[in-house]
Structure 1
Amino acid sequence: MNFNSLLKSYDKTHFKFFLRSLLRRSSPFYSLIFQVTNVCNSRCITCFNWKILNKNIDKELTLEEIDKFTEKIGNLNTVTIGGGEPFLRNDLPEIIDCFDKNNNLLAVAIPTNCLSVNKILSKTEKILNNFRGEVKIGLSIDDIGEDHDKIRGIEGNFEKVLETYRGLAELKKKYPKLRLRLCATVFNLNINKIVDLLKYIRENMPMIDFFGGLELLRGNYNQSQVKEVKPDELIQIIEAIEREVKDEKSLYKRVISPMYYKLALDILKKKKQIIPCRISAFYPVIDALGNIYPCENRDKIGNLREFDYDLIKIWQSKKAKEIRRSIRKKECYCTHSAYQIPNIYLSPKMILKIIRGKY
Structure 2
Amino acid sequence: MYQNQFSMFERIGHTILGNLPFRNIIIENLNKFRIKQIKKLKTPINVVFYVTDGCNLRCKHCFYWKNLKNKNDELKIDKIKKIAKSFKHPLHMLSLTGGEPFMRQDIVEICNLFYKYNNTKRINIATNGILTGKIVEATKIILRNNPTKRFTIFISLDGLQSTHDSIRNYNGSFEKAIKTIKELKKIKNKNLSIFVATTITEQNFEELPELIQFVKALKVIHKFNLLRNNSTVHNIDPSLLHDFDPQHAKLPKNKDLEKVFQIIKNNGKSISNKVETLKIKYSIDLLKNFHKIKCLATFTDMVLFPKGDISVCEPTNSFGNLKDWDYNVYKAWDSKHANKRKSKLKSCSCIQSCNLLNSMKYDTKTLKKIL
TM bin (shorter chain)? 0.7 to 0.9
Superposed CA deviations along residues 69-117 of structure 1, whole A, max 9, x for unmatched, are 1111031101000011011100101000110011111111001111111
Mapping 1:304-323, distance limit 5 Å: 304-323=322-341
1:181 aligns with 2:209: no
Task: Report Cα offsets for 1:164-207 as digits up to 9, x if no partner.
Answer: 11110101x2x12111101111111112112221111112x11x
| 2:48 counterpart of 1:36 | no
2:63 and 2:245 in contact (8 A); partners too: yes
Q: Which has the higher contact order (CA 8 A, sep 6+)?
A: 2
Q: Which residue of 1 aligns with 2:261?
A: 238
Aligned residue pairs, count: 332
2:310 matches 1:279: no
Q: Does residue 1:226 correspond to 2:249, yes or no?
A: yes
Tell me if the contact between 2:52 and 2:98 (Cα under 8 Å) persists in the aligned partners.
Answer: yes
Deviates more, 1:44-53 or 1:336-345: 336-345
Report the alpha carbon displacement of residue 27 of structure 1 after superposing the two structures with TM: 4.9
**What secondary structure does 2:196 align onto?**
strand
Q: 1:162 and 1:280 mapped to 2: Cα distance? A: 37
Compared CA separation, residues 230 and 320, structure 1 to 2 (3 A): farther
C-alpha displacement at 1:222, in angstroms? 4.9
Give the distance between the partners of 2:299 and 2:201, measured in 1 at CA: 28
Q: Secondary structure at the match of 2:111?
A: helix
Equivalence for 1:69: 83
Structure 2 length normalisation: TM-score?
A: 0.83
Partner of residue 298, structure 1: 316
Instruction: Give the conservation status (yes or no) of the 8 Å contact 1:34–1:82.
Output: yes
Give the Å deviation of 1:4: 12
- 1:32-73 Cα deviation digits (max 9, x unpaired): 000111111011111111111123x22000011000111110
Query: Judging changes above 3 Å, is the alpha-carbon distance between structure 1 residues 116 and 302 closer, same or farther for their aligned structure 2 residues?
Result: same
Out of 184, 191, 195, the position equivalent to 1:168 is 184
Counterpart among 218, 224, 229 of residue 214 in structure 1: 224
Aligned-residue offset at 1:244 = 2.4
Q: Gaps (5+ residues) in structure 1?
A: none
5 Å-filtered alignment, 1:1-359, equals: 7-8=13-14, 27-55=42-70, 57-74=71-88, 75-131=90-146, 132-171=148-187, 173=188, 175-203=189-217, 205-206=218-219, 208-210=220-222, 213-219=223-229, 220-246=243-269, 248=270, 252-253=271-272, 255-270=274-289, 273-328=291-346, 330=347, 332-354=348-370
- Contact kept in structure 2, 1:195 and 1:237, CA below 8 Å: no
Q: Secondary structure at the match of 1:58?
A: coil
CA contact 2:63–2:246 (8 Å) conserved in 1? no
Matches of 1:103 and 1:138 in 2, distance apart? 22
Q: Post-superposition shift, 1:319? A: 2.9
Aligned-pair CA distance for 1:133: 1.2
After superposition, the Cα gap between the structure-2 partners of 1:88 and 1:4, relative to the gap in structure 1 and judged at 3 Å, is closer
Distance 1:222 1:7, change over 3 A: closer
- TM-score, length basis structure 1: 0.85
Check whether the contact 1:284–1:295 (CA below 8 A) recurs between aligned residues.
yes
CA RMSD, aligned part only? 2.6
Contact 1:273 1:334 in 2 (8 A): no
Evaluate the alpha carbon distance shift between residue 4 and residue 226 of structure 1 in structure 2; reply closer, same or farther with a 3 A threshold: closer
SS in 2 for 1:285: strand
Alpha-carbon contact 2:54-2:99 (below 8 Å) kept: yes
